[in-house]
């Protein structure tokens, strides 16, 4: 598989709101499925499916301790990419809001 196909595959994996929510929760520390269920509101069955996909793509990793499996971000660079995209979206929304405000009240800022 060439580089752009791999890049596209990772982007497709991340192009899901629930997976993005999971990554956002894991940004600071590793967590169990039960912790993620409580924080995201995603059902355990659905959460496990999303975690399996993220794990198969190398985005999250696991660590077993007793009966618990802890999930964590495999490479912190993915959070940097997530944050860059978030910042771009915030900047775009801010610009659009300012454009709408100036159209409603020309000359007022």
Beta strands in the chain (DSSP E): 31-32, 60-65, 68-73
Q: What is the CATH number of domain 3-75?
A: 1.10.10.10
For the chain, the structural domain boundaries read: 3-75
pLDDT at 104 over 90: no
Q: For residue 103, what pLDDT is reported?
A: 83
Q: Name the token pair of 24.
A: 């956002």
Antiparallel, parallel or unpaired: β 68-73 and 60-65: antiparallel
pTM above 0.85, yes or no: no
Which of 18, 26, 70, 24 is closest to 47 using CA atoms? Answer: 18
In tens, the pLDDT along 13-51 reads: 999 999 999 999 999 999 999 999 999 999 999 999 999
With a pLDDT cut of 70, the percent of the chain lying above it is 95
pLDDT at 107 over 70: no
Q: In the chain, what's the furthest Cα-to-Cα distance?
A: 65
């Amino acid at each position: 598989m060439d580089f752009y196909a791999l890049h596209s595959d990772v982007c497709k994996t991340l192009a899901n709101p629930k997976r993005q929510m999971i990554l956002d929760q894991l940004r600071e520390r590793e967590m169990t499925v039960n912790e993620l269920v409580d924080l995201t509101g995603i059902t355990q069955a659905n959460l496990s499916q999303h975690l399996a996909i993220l794990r198969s793509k190398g985005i999250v990793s696991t660590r077993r301790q007793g009966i618990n499996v802890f999930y964590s971000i495999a490479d912190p660079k993915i959070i940097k990419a997530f944050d860059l995209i978030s910042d771009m979206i915030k900047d775009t929304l801010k610009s659009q809001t300012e454009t709408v405000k100036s159209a409603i009240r020309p000359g007022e800022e």
